[in-house]
Amino acid sequence: MREKGNPIALLPIAVFLILYLGSGVYFEYINPIEGKMGFYIMSVVVAFGIALIIAMVQNKGLSLNEKIHLCALGIGDDNITIMLFIFLLSGAFSGIASAAGGAQSTANMLLSIIPPKFAVMGLFIIACLISMAMGTSVGTITVLAPIALAAAQSGGLSLPMCAGTVVGGAMFGDNLSFISDTTIAATKTQGVEMVDKFRENIKIALPAAILTLAVLLVISINSDPASVGTFEFNVVLALPYFVVLVMALLGINVFKVLLTGVGLFLIAGFATGQLDFVSAFESMGSGTTGMFETMIVTILVASISALIKEGGGYEALLEFIRSRFHGKRGGMLGIGLLTAFMDIATANNTVAIVIAAPIAKEISTEYGVSPRTTASLLDTCSCIAQGIIPYGAQLLIAASLTGIGSVAIIPWLAYPVLLMIFVVISMIRAK
Protein backbone atom coordinates (compact mmCIF):
# COMPACT_ATOMS: atom_id res chain seq x y z
CA MET A 1 0.00 0.00 0.00
CA ARG A 2 1.35 3.42 -0.99
CA GLU A 3 2.28 5.65 1.93
CA LYS A 4 0.20 8.83 2.21
CA GLY A 5 1.99 12.06 1.48
CA ASN A 6 2.51 14.82 4.02
CA PRO A 7 2.58 18.33 2.46
CA ILE A 8 3.86 19.84 5.73
CA ALA A 9 7.13 17.97 5.19
CA LEU A 10 7.78 20.31 2.23
CA LEU A 11 7.96 23.30 4.60
CA PRO A 12 11.81 23.51 4.48
CA ILE A 13 11.69 24.09 0.71
CA ALA A 14 9.02 26.76 1.19
CA VAL A 15 11.13 28.46 3.88
CA PHE A 16 14.17 28.43 1.61
CA LEU A 17 12.23 29.93 -1.32
CA ILE A 18 10.68 32.64 0.84
CA LEU A 19 14.04 33.61 2.31
CA TYR A 20 16.10 33.43 -0.87
CA LEU A 21 13.55 34.57 -3.46
CA GLY A 22 12.08 37.14 -1.10
CA SER A 23 15.40 38.77 -0.30
CA GLY A 24 16.42 38.61 -3.95
CA VAL A 25 13.31 40.44 -5.14
CA TYR A 26 13.62 42.97 -2.32
CA PHE A 27 17.29 43.85 -2.95
CA GLU A 28 17.05 43.63 -6.73
CA TYR A 29 13.84 45.59 -7.37
CA ILE A 30 12.51 47.24 -4.20
CA ASN A 31 15.60 48.42 -2.37
CA PRO A 32 18.64 47.78 -4.61
CA ILE A 33 22.14 48.30 -3.24
CA GLU A 34 24.65 50.02 -5.50
CA GLY A 35 27.17 47.62 -7.01
CA LYS A 36 25.49 44.45 -5.71
CA MET A 37 23.31 41.84 -7.41
CA GLY A 38 20.14 41.49 -5.35
CA PHE A 39 19.83 37.72 -5.70
CA TYR A 40 23.35 37.21 -4.34
CA ILE A 41 23.06 39.24 -1.12
CA MET A 42 21.34 36.47 0.84
CA SER A 43 23.79 33.57 0.88
CA VAL A 44 22.26 30.43 -0.56
CA VAL A 45 24.16 28.47 2.10
CA VAL A 46 22.55 30.47 4.92
CA ALA A 47 19.08 30.05 3.38
CA PHE A 48 19.56 26.28 3.06
CA GLY A 49 21.04 26.14 6.58
CA ILE A 50 17.85 27.64 8.01
CA ALA A 51 15.79 25.24 5.86
CA LEU A 52 17.78 22.31 7.31
CA ILE A 53 17.01 23.49 10.86
CA ILE A 54 13.30 23.53 9.95
CA ALA A 55 13.60 20.01 8.53
CA MET A 56 15.32 18.83 11.72
CA VAL A 57 12.56 20.27 13.91
CA GLN A 58 9.87 18.45 11.93
CA ASN A 59 8.89 14.77 12.28
CA LYS A 60 8.58 14.38 16.05
CA GLY A 61 8.58 10.59 15.66
CA LEU A 62 12.34 10.53 15.08
CA SER A 63 15.07 11.37 17.54
CA LEU A 64 17.79 13.87 16.68
CA ASN A 65 20.30 11.05 16.23
CA GLU A 66 17.96 9.27 13.84
CA LYS A 67 17.54 12.46 11.80
CA ILE A 68 21.30 12.96 11.64
CA HIS A 69 21.65 9.35 10.47
CA LEU A 70 19.16 10.04 7.68
CA CYS A 71 21.20 13.08 6.65
CA ALA A 72 24.37 10.99 6.65
CA LEU A 73 22.72 8.40 4.40
CA GLY A 74 21.66 11.15 2.00
CA ILE A 75 25.13 12.73 1.90
CA GLY A 76 26.83 9.33 1.65
CA ASP A 77 25.01 8.31 -1.54
CA ASP A 78 27.55 7.13 -4.14
CA ASN A 79 26.43 9.67 -6.75
CA ILE A 80 26.60 12.56 -4.26
CA THR A 81 30.15 11.56 -3.29
CA ILE A 82 31.27 11.28 -6.92
CA MET A 83 29.67 14.64 -7.65
CA LEU A 84 31.59 16.31 -4.81
CA PHE A 85 34.90 14.90 -6.04
CA ILE A 86 34.20 16.06 -9.60
CA PHE A 87 33.32 19.55 -8.36
CA LEU A 88 36.74 19.77 -6.67
CA LEU A 89 38.61 18.60 -9.77
CA SER A 90 36.53 20.83 -12.02
CA GLY A 91 37.42 23.81 -9.82
CA ALA A 92 41.13 23.02 -10.10
CA PHE A 93 40.82 22.73 -13.90
CA SER A 94 38.92 26.03 -14.21
CA GLY A 95 41.39 27.81 -11.95
CA ILE A 96 44.55 26.79 -13.77
CA ALA A 97 42.97 27.25 -17.21
CA SER A 98 41.94 30.79 -16.30
CA ALA A 99 45.35 31.66 -14.84
CA ALA A 100 47.09 30.36 -17.98
CA GLY A 101 44.85 32.51 -20.18
CA GLY A 102 43.51 29.54 -22.11
CA ALA A 103 39.97 30.79 -22.63
CA GLN A 104 41.02 34.22 -23.90
CA SER A 105 43.63 32.72 -26.21
CA THR A 106 41.12 30.21 -27.59
CA ALA A 107 38.51 32.90 -28.23
CA ASN A 108 41.05 35.17 -29.93
CA MET A 109 42.29 32.34 -32.13
CA LEU A 110 38.77 31.51 -33.32
CA LEU A 111 37.93 35.20 -33.87
CA SER A 112 40.99 35.63 -36.09
CA ILE A 113 39.69 33.10 -38.65
CA ILE A 114 36.09 34.37 -38.89
CA PRO A 115 35.29 36.84 -41.73
CA PRO A 116 34.13 40.26 -40.41
CA LYS A 117 30.86 39.90 -42.34
CA PHE A 118 29.89 36.97 -40.14
CA ALA A 119 31.19 38.31 -36.83
CA VAL A 120 27.83 37.87 -35.07
CA MET A 121 27.52 34.25 -36.19
CA GLY A 122 31.12 33.80 -35.11
CA LEU A 123 30.35 35.11 -31.64
CA PHE A 124 27.62 32.51 -31.23
CA ILE A 125 29.80 29.63 -32.48
CA ILE A 126 32.76 30.71 -30.35
CA ALA A 127 30.54 31.08 -27.27
CA CYS A 128 29.24 27.54 -27.86
CA LEU A 129 32.74 26.07 -28.15
CA ILE A 130 34.34 28.04 -25.32
CA SER A 131 31.48 27.24 -22.93
CA MET A 132 31.61 23.54 -23.80
CA ALA A 133 35.37 23.49 -23.19
CA MET A 134 35.32 25.66 -20.04
CA GLY A 135 32.14 24.22 -18.54
CA THR A 136 30.92 27.65 -17.42
CA SER A 137 28.51 30.05 -19.09
CA VAL A 138 29.46 32.92 -16.77
CA GLY A 139 33.15 32.56 -17.59
CA THR A 140 32.37 32.46 -21.31
CA ILE A 141 30.24 35.62 -21.13
CA THR A 142 32.97 37.39 -19.15
CA VAL A 143 35.48 36.64 -21.92
CA LEU A 144 33.23 37.40 -24.91
CA ALA A 145 30.94 40.25 -23.80
CA PRO A 146 33.61 42.96 -24.36
CA ILE A 147 34.22 41.51 -27.83
CA ALA A 148 30.47 41.64 -28.52
CA LEU A 149 30.55 45.32 -27.54
CA ALA A 150 33.36 45.98 -30.04
CA ALA A 151 31.51 44.12 -32.81
CA ALA A 152 28.33 46.13 -32.23
CA GLN A 153 30.11 49.47 -32.21
CA SER A 154 32.23 48.84 -35.30
CA GLY A 155 29.49 47.28 -37.42
CA GLY A 156 26.57 49.45 -36.35
CA LEU A 157 24.84 46.37 -34.96
CA SER A 158 22.34 46.14 -32.15
CA LEU A 159 24.29 45.85 -28.90
CA PRO A 160 21.51 43.89 -27.11
CA MET A 161 21.48 41.48 -30.08
CA CYS A 162 25.24 40.89 -29.83
CA ALA A 163 25.02 40.43 -26.06
CA GLY A 164 22.06 38.05 -26.44
CA THR A 165 24.00 36.07 -29.04
CA VAL A 166 26.88 35.54 -26.61
CA VAL A 167 24.52 34.57 -23.78
CA GLY A 168 22.72 32.07 -26.03
CA GLY A 169 25.95 30.44 -27.15
CA ALA A 170 27.21 30.30 -23.58
CA MET A 171 24.05 28.52 -22.43
CA PHE A 172 24.33 26.03 -25.33
CA GLY A 173 27.85 25.06 -24.28
CA ASP A 174 27.05 25.01 -20.57
CA ASN A 175 24.13 22.68 -21.23
CA LEU A 176 26.24 20.21 -23.24
CA SER A 177 29.63 20.49 -21.53
CA PHE A 178 30.90 17.36 -19.81
CA ILE A 179 32.66 19.36 -17.10
CA SER A 180 29.89 21.86 -16.35
CA ASP A 181 28.60 21.72 -12.77
CA THR A 182 25.04 21.54 -14.17
CA THR A 183 25.92 18.44 -16.21
CA ILE A 184 27.68 16.87 -13.24
CA ALA A 185 24.69 17.53 -10.96
CA ALA A 186 22.10 16.34 -13.49
CA THR A 187 23.86 13.10 -14.39
CA LYS A 188 25.15 12.03 -11.00
CA THR A 189 21.85 12.62 -9.22
CA GLN A 190 20.13 10.40 -11.79
CA GLY A 191 22.90 7.81 -11.94
CA VAL A 192 23.60 8.09 -15.68
CA GLU A 193 26.73 8.49 -17.77
CA MET A 194 27.51 11.95 -19.10
CA VAL A 195 27.79 10.71 -22.67
CA ASP A 196 24.24 9.30 -22.48
CA LYS A 197 22.88 12.63 -21.29
CA PHE A 198 24.86 14.36 -24.04
CA ARG A 199 23.29 12.15 -26.72
CA GLU A 200 19.85 12.92 -25.34
CA ASN A 201 20.57 16.66 -25.11
CA ILE A 202 22.08 17.05 -28.56
CA LYS A 203 18.82 15.95 -30.19
CA ILE A 204 17.18 19.05 -28.69
CA ALA A 205 20.03 21.55 -28.47
CA LEU A 206 21.54 21.10 -31.94
CA PRO A 207 18.35 21.90 -33.94
CA ALA A 208 17.82 24.98 -31.75
CA ALA A 209 21.42 26.08 -32.35
CA ILE A 210 21.15 25.51 -36.12
CA LEU A 211 17.99 27.61 -36.31
CA THR A 212 19.69 30.32 -34.24
CA LEU A 213 22.59 30.31 -36.71
CA ALA A 214 20.13 30.60 -39.60
CA VAL A 215 18.59 33.69 -38.01
CA LEU A 216 22.04 35.18 -37.40
CA LEU A 217 23.06 34.39 -41.00
CA VAL A 218 20.15 36.44 -42.33
CA ILE A 219 21.09 39.31 -40.01
CA SER A 220 24.75 39.08 -41.06
CA ILE A 221 23.94 39.15 -44.78
CA ASN A 222 21.88 42.30 -44.30
CA SER A 223 24.42 44.07 -42.07
CA ASP A 224 27.73 45.83 -42.60
CA PRO A 225 30.91 43.90 -41.73
CA ALA A 226 31.79 44.19 -38.05
CA SER A 227 35.39 44.44 -36.93
CA VAL A 228 36.17 43.01 -33.54
CA GLY A 229 39.77 44.18 -33.57
CA THR A 230 43.04 42.31 -33.60
CA PHE A 231 43.74 39.99 -30.72
CA GLU A 232 46.83 38.04 -29.81
CA PHE A 233 46.63 34.31 -29.18
CA ASN A 234 48.84 31.34 -28.48
CA VAL A 235 47.94 27.98 -30.02
CA VAL A 236 49.73 26.16 -27.20
CA LEU A 237 47.38 27.73 -24.63
CA ALA A 238 44.29 26.96 -26.74
CA LEU A 239 45.20 23.33 -27.41
CA PRO A 240 44.30 21.89 -23.95
CA TYR A 241 40.68 23.03 -24.30
CA PHE A 242 40.32 21.22 -27.62
CA VAL A 243 41.91 18.06 -26.20
CA VAL A 244 39.51 18.14 -23.25
CA LEU A 245 36.55 18.70 -25.58
CA VAL A 246 37.49 15.78 -27.84
CA MET A 247 38.14 13.44 -24.90
CA ALA A 248 34.78 14.34 -23.37
CA LEU A 249 32.95 13.76 -26.67
CA LEU A 250 34.63 10.34 -26.94
CA GLY A 251 33.01 9.40 -23.64
CA ILE A 252 36.23 9.13 -21.62
CA ASN A 253 35.74 9.15 -17.85
CA VAL A 254 35.34 12.72 -16.57
CA PHE A 255 38.04 12.25 -13.90
CA LYS A 256 40.56 11.31 -16.62
CA VAL A 257 39.39 14.23 -18.78
CA LEU A 258 39.81 16.79 -16.01
CA LEU A 259 43.15 15.41 -14.81
CA THR A 260 44.43 15.48 -18.39
CA GLY A 261 43.21 19.07 -18.74
CA VAL A 262 44.98 20.15 -15.55
CA GLY A 263 48.20 18.43 -16.68
CA LEU A 264 48.09 19.98 -20.15
CA PHE A 265 47.51 23.48 -18.80
CA LEU A 266 50.40 23.02 -16.37
CA ILE A 267 52.68 22.11 -19.28
CA ALA A 268 51.30 24.85 -21.56
CA GLY A 269 51.46 27.49 -18.82
CA PHE A 270 55.07 26.66 -17.91
CA ALA A 271 56.11 26.42 -21.59
CA THR A 272 54.69 29.87 -22.46
CA GLY A 273 55.74 31.57 -19.25
CA GLN A 274 52.14 32.28 -18.22
CA LEU A 275 52.51 30.16 -15.09
CA ASP A 276 55.19 29.41 -12.55
CA PHE A 277 55.14 26.97 -9.65
CA VAL A 278 53.51 29.41 -7.25
CA SER A 279 50.84 30.82 -9.60
CA ALA A 280 49.93 27.34 -10.89
CA PHE A 281 49.13 25.90 -7.50
CA GLU A 282 47.57 29.13 -6.22
CA SER A 283 45.20 29.11 -9.20
CA MET A 284 44.21 25.49 -8.60
CA GLY A 285 43.63 26.32 -4.95
CA SER A 286 41.46 29.34 -5.74
CA GLY A 287 39.56 27.26 -8.32
CA THR A 288 38.69 24.55 -5.83
CA THR A 289 37.81 27.18 -3.22
CA GLY A 290 35.37 28.65 -5.73
CA MET A 291 33.49 25.35 -5.76
CA PHE A 292 33.06 25.19 -1.97
CA GLU A 293 29.68 26.94 -1.94
CA THR A 294 28.32 24.54 -4.57
CA MET A 295 29.62 21.58 -2.58
CA ILE A 296 28.14 22.84 0.69
CA VAL A 297 24.80 23.43 -1.04
CA THR A 298 24.92 19.86 -2.38
CA ILE A 299 25.55 18.49 1.14
CA LEU A 300 22.77 20.61 2.67
CA VAL A 301 20.25 19.73 -0.04
CA ALA A 302 21.09 16.01 0.23
CA SER A 303 20.41 16.23 4.00
CA ILE A 304 17.18 18.21 3.61
CA SER A 305 15.98 15.87 0.84
CA ALA A 306 16.50 12.79 3.01
CA LEU A 307 14.46 14.33 5.84
CA ILE A 308 11.70 15.54 3.52
CA LYS A 309 11.43 12.13 1.87
CA GLU A 310 11.22 10.37 5.23
CA GLY A 311 8.51 12.81 6.34
CA GLY A 312 6.35 12.10 3.27
CA GLY A 313 7.03 15.36 1.46
CA TYR A 314 8.04 13.81 -1.83
CA GLU A 315 5.01 11.55 -1.79
CA ALA A 316 2.80 14.63 -1.29
CA LEU A 317 4.44 16.30 -4.29
CA LEU A 318 3.97 13.16 -6.37
CA GLU A 319 0.30 13.03 -5.40
CA PHE A 320 -0.07 16.60 -6.65
CA ILE A 321 1.65 15.73 -9.92
CA ARG A 322 -0.40 12.52 -10.35
CA SER A 323 -3.61 14.52 -10.10
CA ARG A 324 -2.56 16.93 -12.88
CA PHE A 325 -0.08 15.14 -15.15
CA HIS A 326 -0.64 11.78 -16.79
CA GLY A 327 1.52 9.42 -18.80
CA LYS A 328 5.15 9.75 -19.82
CA ARG A 329 4.56 13.16 -21.43
CA GLY A 330 3.00 14.42 -18.23
CA GLY A 331 5.94 13.15 -16.21
CA MET A 332 8.40 14.93 -18.52
CA LEU A 333 6.36 18.14 -18.30
CA GLY A 334 6.26 17.87 -14.52
CA ILE A 335 10.06 17.48 -14.32
CA GLY A 336 10.59 20.37 -16.73
CA LEU A 337 8.25 22.77 -14.93
CA LEU A 338 9.61 21.82 -11.50
CA THR A 339 13.21 22.47 -12.60
CA ALA A 340 12.38 25.75 -14.34
CA PHE A 341 10.45 26.98 -11.30
CA MET A 342 13.35 26.13 -8.99
CA ASP A 343 15.72 28.05 -11.25
CA ILE A 344 13.44 31.08 -11.42
CA ALA A 345 13.27 31.00 -7.62
CA THR A 346 16.99 30.52 -6.95
CA ALA A 347 18.56 32.26 -10.01
CA ASN A 348 21.17 29.48 -10.05
CA ASN A 349 20.84 26.54 -12.43
CA THR A 350 23.12 24.22 -10.45
CA VAL A 351 21.22 24.83 -7.22
CA ALA A 352 17.93 24.36 -9.07
CA ILE A 353 19.07 20.97 -10.36
CA VAL A 354 20.30 19.82 -6.95
CA ILE A 355 16.93 20.75 -5.38
CA ALA A 356 14.76 19.27 -8.14
CA ALA A 357 16.85 16.14 -8.82
CA PRO A 358 15.59 13.80 -6.05
CA ILE A 359 11.97 14.71 -6.77
CA ALA A 360 12.58 14.30 -10.51
CA LYS A 361 14.03 10.84 -9.87
CA GLU A 362 10.82 9.80 -8.12
CA ILE A 363 8.74 11.20 -10.98
CA SER A 364 10.86 9.43 -13.61
CA THR A 365 10.46 6.07 -11.85
CA GLU A 366 6.70 6.43 -11.53
CA TYR A 367 6.05 7.78 -15.03
CA GLY A 368 8.49 5.62 -16.96
CA VAL A 369 10.81 8.46 -17.98
CA SER A 370 14.34 7.13 -18.56
CA PRO A 371 17.09 8.44 -16.22
CA ARG A 372 19.03 9.92 -19.14
CA THR A 373 15.94 11.80 -20.34
CA THR A 374 15.39 13.06 -16.80
CA ALA A 375 19.01 14.23 -16.57
CA SER A 376 18.62 15.98 -19.92
CA LEU A 377 15.42 17.73 -18.81
CA LEU A 378 17.01 18.85 -15.54
CA ASP A 379 19.98 20.41 -17.30
CA THR A 380 18.10 21.81 -20.29
CA CYS A 381 15.13 23.33 -18.45
CA SER A 382 17.37 24.93 -15.83
CA CYS A 383 19.54 26.42 -18.60
CA ILE A 384 16.48 27.77 -20.42
CA ALA A 385 15.23 29.55 -17.30
CA GLN A 386 18.70 30.72 -16.27
CA GLY A 387 19.38 32.10 -19.74
CA ILE A 388 16.20 34.21 -19.75
CA ILE A 389 15.67 35.59 -16.24
CA PRO A 390 16.97 39.20 -16.08
CA TYR A 391 18.29 38.77 -12.51
CA GLY A 392 20.43 35.71 -13.26
CA ALA A 393 24.23 36.03 -13.19
CA GLN A 394 24.51 35.44 -16.95
CA LEU A 395 22.35 38.38 -18.07
CA LEU A 396 23.55 40.63 -15.26
CA ILE A 397 27.21 40.12 -16.18
CA ALA A 398 26.50 40.51 -19.92
CA ALA A 399 24.62 43.72 -19.17
CA SER A 400 27.30 45.18 -16.90
CA LEU A 401 30.12 44.45 -19.37
CA THR A 402 28.25 45.98 -22.31
CA GLY A 403 26.67 48.90 -20.45
CA ILE A 404 23.02 48.05 -21.14
CA GLY A 405 20.12 46.82 -18.99
CA SER A 406 19.63 43.07 -18.63
CA VAL A 407 15.96 43.38 -19.64
CA ALA A 408 17.05 44.89 -22.99
CA ILE A 409 18.86 41.66 -23.86
CA ILE A 410 15.82 39.38 -23.37
CA PRO A 411 14.13 40.02 -26.78
CA TRP A 412 17.36 38.86 -28.48
CA LEU A 413 17.68 35.55 -26.66
CA ALA A 414 16.83 33.46 -29.71
CA TYR A 415 18.62 30.29 -28.64
CA PRO A 416 16.98 29.82 -25.18
CA VAL A 417 13.53 30.42 -26.71
CA LEU A 418 14.14 27.97 -29.57
CA LEU A 419 15.55 25.45 -27.10
CA MET A 420 12.34 25.72 -25.06
CA ILE A 421 10.29 25.06 -28.21
CA PHE A 422 12.30 21.94 -29.02
CA VAL A 423 11.97 20.69 -25.44
CA VAL A 424 8.19 20.98 -25.76
CA ILE A 425 8.32 19.18 -29.12
CA SER A 426 10.36 16.35 -27.53
CA MET A 427 7.69 15.99 -24.85
CA ILE A 428 4.90 15.86 -27.43
CA ARG A 429 6.76 13.19 -29.41
CA ALA A 430 7.51 11.04 -26.35
CA LYS A 431 5.92 7.60 -26.42
Averaged in consecutive runs of 10 residues, what is the pLDDT profile of the chain (431 residues)?
74 88 84 78 87 91 92 86 83 86 77 76 87 82 81 78 91 86 89 89 93 89 66 81 81 83 91 91 90 86 88 84 85 92 82 87 90 94 90 83 85 93 92 74
Cα Rg for the chain, rounded, in angstroms?
Answer: 22
Residue 390 included in any domain: yes
Residue 408 included in any domain: yes
The model's pTM is: 0.80
Residue 56 included in any domain: yes
Structural domain containing residue 274 = 7-429
| Cα angle value 346/195/335 (rounded, 5°) | 35
CB atoms within 10 A of CB 233: 17
Residue 1 included in any domain: no
Cα 86 to Cα 322: distance, rounded to the nearest angstrom: 35
Max intra-chain CA distance, the chain: 71
Residue 46 included in any domain: yes
Contact 54, 17 (CB under 8 A): no
Residue 112 included in any domain: yes
Q: How far is CA 229 from CA 6, 119, 219, 358, in A?
A: 61, 11, 20, 48
Residue 2 included in any domain: no
pLDDT of residue 1: 42
Give the chain's domain count. 1
